Structure 1
Amino acid sequence: MPGLKLYSVSDSPPTLAVRMLLAALDLPHELVDVDFAAGEHLTESYAQINPQKEVPCIDDNGFLLSESVAILQYLADRYGKNEDLYPRDPQKRAVVNHRLVFNLSTYYQYISEYVMAPIFYAYERTALGLKKTNIGLSVFNTILERNATKFAAGDEMTIADLALVAATMCLEAINFDVSPYPRVARWYADFKGDFPSLWRVAERGMKEIRQFDRDPPDLSGLNHPIHPTSKKRTNH
């Protein structure tokens, strides 16, 4: 029977943000695992589904959509039972959109470069990468302080929090200390405490990333067209 499919990698932060939303919406779906280690995402057959050859991607009864932010917005609009997750008020929605774009352009971008790239590809953790990660945390901390709200875009949890939590859990996976950013630390703890079922979705991915950080996968034969790969590393 046709339905919603999510093309997924179990430890992909953008995918986990979408999976948390599906859980929040209690939306039935089929989870289709894409084997990144085997290069399944680079095949022409997968490119027919998503020409970007990335995850996540959804197939909603023939409607194909990639990019996690677009997917979060679409699912909240189409299947949300109310406006809490993605408000329709123009100003409230603009704030949610800002947080989503901030995560994509800065916060997760910096965290991904520092945490994820050295685990899965031939990149190193550098002083510059650490500096950029701290800049992202500092900006987010300031946003939370100035707005004096419990969550990223207001006093109610929205789809922006899902994306930002999925980014932040990467830091937890490598035991990165966020306590110098008290508002970020409190926001992260509040999300876990208030939404334990959603956090369990992200936590499983976080634990996988933690294990891969200790024992990186060997992707030397992947021949990725953009990211350099090398033999399995013991130090990074």
Structure 2
Amino acid sequence: MPMKLYGVSDGPPTLGVRMTLKALNVPYEYVNVNFNKGEHMTDSYAKMNPQKEIPVLDDNGFYLQESNAIIQYICDKYGPDSPLYPKDPTARAIVNQRLFFNMGFYYSSIGAYALAPIFFDYERSAMGLKKVENALKVFQTYLERLNTKYVAGDNLTVADFVLITSTMCLEAINFDISGYPLIKKWYEMFKKEHSELWEVAKVGMLELAEFEKNPPDLSTMNHPFHPTRKATK
């Protein structure tokens, strides 16, 4: 049986996993989790992921949480010789660093500024903007210092996937990244040279862009942590 990926269509962590599966041509069944209805807060979902977060992978009864761990597992099991997740310790260390830089610093800053005001009762603030700008500056510095075509070397890796899905959140809210020319160059290059993979992220980006214009009504979300949206943003 093919593995199952439980995710959301516009969630950057889910999209990073889906790009990995596509790049490695791994068959899987995608199960959309209805965030608005709180399907990730149910007892049945908690059996797969006690954190009640999205995504989660079901590989024939083996449940794995956390998108970075899922991506690494998929590469190790289904693409052990793929350059997407290199075996060389130094090359892999750079990829791993980029994965965790994205999770703990880059996406966390972007998500709080770009996505939280769409889906929760948060407002974009000067402090939030400062954190995004700082994250972009650090990313720009990594690109300057490594001086390679991709974010972790001269070859495409899964590190590009997760950083693409974070950066596309900024595009969704029309955030101008032209002040970070190396990031912009890499981002546009990826779209052009890896269009089949970009299509995976593009779907989520367009959904987020539509939500930015017309925020979803989450007042009836069926879980205890749902926010109460303000009448205006």
Q: 1:70 to 1:233 in 2, by over 3 A?
A: farther
Moved segments of 4+, more than 3 Å: 223-226, 231-234
Quote the Cα distance in structure 2 between the aligned partners of 1:129 and 1:223: 28
Per the TM alignment, residue 71 of structure 1 is displaced from its structure 2 partner at its CA by 0.5
Inter-partner Cα distance in structure 1 for 2:229 and 2:217: 6
Q: How far has the Cα of 1:224 moved from its partner?
A: 4.8
Which amino acid is the alignment partner of residue 91 of structure 1?
T
RMSD: 1.3
Q: In the alignment, is the contact (CA less than 8 A) between 1:216 and 1:232 conserved in 2? A: no
The 1:79/1:233 distance shift into structure 2, 3 A limit, reads farther
Aligned partner of 2:227 in structure 1 is 229
> Aligned pair 1:57/2:51, yes or no?
no
Give 1:234 shift. 4.0
| Distance in 2, Cα, partners of 1:166 & 1:137 | 14
2:84 corresponding residue in structure 1: 85
2: CA distance, partners of 1:200 / 1:223: 31
Counterpart position of 2:193: 194
Whether contact under 8 Å (1:137, 1:181) holds in the other structure is: yes
Structure 2 equivalent of residue 174 of structure 1: 173
Query: How far did residue 193 of structure 1 move?
Result: 1.2
Write the letter of the residue equivalent to 2:6: Y
> In the alignment, is the contact (CA less than 8 A) between 1:8 and 1:15 conserved in 2?
yes
1:7 is the counterpart of 2:6: yes
Q: What secondary structure sits across from 2:142 in the alignment?
A: helix
Whole-angstrom distance in 1 between the partners of 2:51 and 2:203: 26
* Residues 121, 230 of structure 2: 8 Å contact kept: no
**One-letter amino acid of the structure 1 residue matched with residue 43 of structure 2:** E
Aligned length: 233
Alignment match, 1:159:
158
CA-CA distance at 1:223 after TM superposition: 6.1
Equivalent residue letter for 1:231 = R
Instruction: Tell me if the contact between 2:56 and 2:63 (Cα under 8 Å) persists in the aligned partners.
Output: yes
Contact 1:217 1:232 in 2 (8 A): no
Residues 216 and 233 in structure 1, CA contact (< 8 A), matched pair in contact too: no
Which letter maps to 2:219? S
Distance 1:155 1:217 in 2: 40
Q: Name the aligned partner's letter for residue 229 of structure 1.
A: P
Structure 1: gaps (5+ residues)? none
Q: Specify the alignment match of 2:128 in structure 1.
A: 129
Higher deviation after alignment, 18-27 or 217-226:
217-226
Report how far residue 222 of structure 1 moved: 2.3
Given residue 73 of structure 2, which amino acid in structure 1 is its aligned partner? Y
Cα deviation per residue 1:98-134 (whole Å; 9 max; x = unaligned)?
A: 0001001110000000011110000110000000000
Aligned-pair identity (%): 55
Distance in 2 (alpha carbons) for counterparts of 1:204 and 1:191:
15
TM-score after normalising by structure 1 = 0.95
Contact 2:37 2:222 in 1 (8 A): no
1:7 aligned counterpart, secondary structure: strand
Aligned to 2:99: 100
Alignment of 1:58-77 (within 5 A): 58-77=57-76
Give the structure 2 partner of residue 47 of structure 1. Answer: 46
The answer to whether the 8 A contact 2:8-2:32 is kept is yes
Give the distance between the partners of 1:155 and 1:58, measured in 2 at CA: 30
Give the residue type in structure 1 aligned to 2:94: V
1: distance between equivalents of 2:95 and 2:117? 30
In structure 2, the gaps of 5 or more residues are none
SS of residue paired to 1:48: helix
